[in-house]
Structure 1
Amino acid sequence: MQPQPLVIEYSFRLQDNSEELFTIRLDPQTLETLPEAKAEPLPHWTKLSFSQCASCPLTEASSPHCPAAVNIAPIVRRGEKLLSFDVLDLQVTTAERVISQKTTAQRALCSLMGLVIAGSGCPHTALFKPMARFHLPLANEEETIFRATATYMLAQYFVKTGGGEADFNLEKLRNLYRTIQEVNQAMATRVRSGSKTDSSVNAIVLLDMYAKALPYVIRQSLEELRYLFEPFLHILDSPEKP
């Protein structure tokens, strides 16, 4: 029996009581987003050659369109009616729970775009697929830092048990986030060329703020999060009882 897709629904309830419903389906094995049944024609700014990232390993022969741009294109199109600071009621529904919050259009779009970019198949965003599987809507900076570093460290465990050399100093994570900044800047250029309102562009800017913050926090040895582990570290440092 074929495993069912993982479904995450984003409902935007606007001030005029209208609703925009975005249904994201993730392949349960690859964690990549599954295409919509009735896909709209792709806009020009989704072409791979349009503002392609300098470090992008894809070629037009194998991938005529940027995977991340293709994933956010429907969101940008349907978000045209929204301005960045329009207030809306967001409801995110997964198989496990329902999360509701009043927020701004740019924050809601930022959360949604982060999810679909993670599952887009972009070679640079593969680390974020486990985070997409355990999606946390509207994650703030501290939550994002915790989830990203914890995901990376768990990945290093699997590297080590698979016979590889684990990067417990997080050096490669720093480099990855520098590359993610490049991806975000390219996405902002793409969206700016195809959007009439500012909400989608500012959503990408918010994503980039988190990407910029993480290398800085790593340089500070993640001391901002140390307090979370003090009780556990105290147990580890305690002498064992005979």
Structure 2
Amino acid sequence: MEEIKIQYCFQLPDKRQEVFDIVLDKKSMEAIDAHPSPSPEWSRLEFHQCPNCPWLEDERPWCPVAVKLASIVNKFENILSYDEIDLEVHTRERVVFQNTSAQRGIASYMGLVMATSGCPHTLFLKPMARFHLPLASEEETIYRAFSMHALAHYFLQPGNLDCKQQFDSLKDHYSALQTVNVAIAKRLKAACSTDSSVNALINLDMYAKAMPYVIEESLEELRYLFTPEQGE
């Protein structure tokens, strides 16, 4: 089985270094847990279960997103969202280093974890996880999301070039993701004594909320990239 490895290294204000190794199955793009830890009670499926969750507790007793996020909650228990950290992300292709806020660094990690967790409402994000861009800006995220979805539409519905249909389905995906984010935030609030993990998720949710708005505005934020200069 081929694997993709991504490592997040957090240098925290208290001089601790927390390292998270994410190993993904290259074919399924789901996270592989070599040594899974016991899951906390707040990660049970029924605890603040997402209203749009298709699963039943007797079939799947644990929320896949909550289970994957449990480790980061424990490690950042005493870190505040505005604390400055040094973040280093290692992939096979490159190393990214940046001094940033705890909530922004954690949000970047959370986005990758949620996309590869196995949650049915984050499956559409798997192609973006394959080409993960740490600490992506809002504009970068919007561009990557639309590009990824257009390519997915090309492969899954060959010959169907209906752009409106493509973007309407992307809007539906992000609307469902907002529902997941709200429920996961409730879980994190119950599990955390500080705000870094909760605010990191709120930071991610801002992108989910922005997507339907961008679609409604006919992608005007990106139009300039494809508009020829006058005189050409």
Does 2:156 correspond to 1:159? yes
Superimposed CA distance per residue, residues 81-110 of structure 1 (whole angstroms, 9 cap, x where no aligned partner): 211011011000000100000001110000
Shift of 1:16: 3.7
The 5 A counterparts of 1:41-120 are: 41-120=38-117
| Contact 1:159/1:166 (<8 A) preserved | no
Preserved contact between residue 24 and residue 30 of structure 2 (Cα < 8 Å): yes
- How many residues end up aligned between the 2 structures? 229
- 1:129 is aligned, of 126, 129, 142, to 126
CA distance in 1, matches of 2:61, 2:141: 31
- Shift of residue 58 of structure 1? 1.3
Residue 215 (str. 1) matches residue 205 (str. 2): no
Question: What is the match of residue 223 of structure 2?
Answer: 226
Counterpart of 1:128 in 2: which secondary structure? Answer: helix
Unaligned segments of structure 1, at least 5 residues: none
Kindly provide the amino acid, as one letter, of the partner of residue 163 in structure 2: F
1:33 corresponds to:
31
> What residue identity is the alignment partner of 2:116?
G
Name the structure 2 match of 1:168. 163
Q: Provide the C-alpha distance between the structure 2 equivalents of 1:205 and 1:225, rounded to a whole number of angstroms.
A: 24
TM-score by length of 2: 0.94
Deviation of 1:166 after TM superposition, in Å, equals 5.9
1:13 partnered with 2:7: no
The aligned amino acid for 2:72 is: I
User: What SS does structure 2 have at the residue aligned with 1:96?
Assistant: coil
- Secondary structure of 2:157's counterpart equals helix
**2:185 is equivalent to residue 188 of structure 1:** yes
Letter in 1 for 2:137: N
Structure 1 residue runs of 4+, over 4 Å off? none
- Alpha-carbon shift at residue 217 of structure 1 (Å): 0.7
> Contact 2:124 / 2:173 at 8 angstroms: preserved in 1?
no
Are 1:10 and 1:90, in contact at CA under 8 Å, matched by a contact in 2?
yes
Distance 2:57 2:73 in 1: 23
TM-score (norm: length of structure 1): 0.90
| Distance across 2 between alignment mates of 1:99 and 1:183 | 29
Identical pairs, percent: 51
RMSD: 1.6
Q: How far off is 1:167 after superposition? A: 5.2
Q: Which has the larger radius of gyration?
A: 1
Greater CA deviation, 122-131 or 8-17?
Answer: 8-17
Q: What letter is aligned with 1:7?
A: K
Tell me, in whole angstroms, the C-alpha distance in 2 between the residues paired with 1:166 and 1:74.
Answer: 42
- Which SS does the other structure have where 1:123 is aligned? coil
CA distance in 1, matches of 2:121, 2:77: 27
Once the two structures are TM-superposed, the CA of residue 140 in structure 1 deviates from its matched residue by 1.2
Unpaired runs of at least 5, structure 2: none
